[in-house]
Amino acid sequence: MHTLEIPEANKKIELPSTWNECTTDQVMDIVSEAFLVMNGDQKIEDFTRRTFCRLTGLKSSVRYQFKRRLGTTYRQDEMLCILAAQLCQWPFRMKKENGQKIYEFQFDTAVNFFREITVGKQTVYGPEDLLQDITFSEFQWANNYFKEHDKCNKENDFEGAMESLDQFVACFYRPGTNGKRSPFDHGSLWETLPLIGKVPYIKKFCILLWYSYCVQVIQTTPLDIQGIEINFSILFPQPTKAELLGLEKRKQGLGWQGTLFDISESGVFGNIEQTEQTKLFTILVYMYKKQIENLKASQK
Q: Which helix (H) or strand (E) holds 122?
A: strand 122-125
Mean pLDDT for all residues in the chain:
85
pLDDT of 193 reads: 95
Which amino acid, residue 195?
L
Q: Rounded to the nearest 10 degrees, how much is the dihedral formed by the CA atoms of 141, 171, 162, 54? A: -130
pLDDT of 71 reads: 47
Which amino acid, residue 170?
A
- DSSP for 168-224, please give it: HHHHH-B-EETTEEPPP-GGGHHHHHHHHTTS-HHHHHHHHHHHHHHHHHHHHS-EE
Q: Which helix (H) or strand (E) holds 278?
A: none
Q: Is 253 helix (H, G, I), strand (E, B) or coil?
A: coil
The H helix count followed by the E strand count for the chain is 12, 10
Measured CA to CA in angstroms, residue 68 lies from 54, 60, 89 at distances of: 21, 12, 20
What predicted TM-score, i.e. pTM, was given to this entire model? 0.86
Domain ranges of the chain: 2-105, 116-220, 263-300
Q: Residues in the chain with pLDDT < 50?
A: 62-74, 243-245, 248, 250
Q: How far apart are CA 139 and CA 252, in angstroms?
A: 20
CA nearest to 258, candidates 279, 275, 239, 281: 275
Checking DSSP bridges between strand 122-125 and strand 100-105, what pairing results, if any? Answer: unpaired
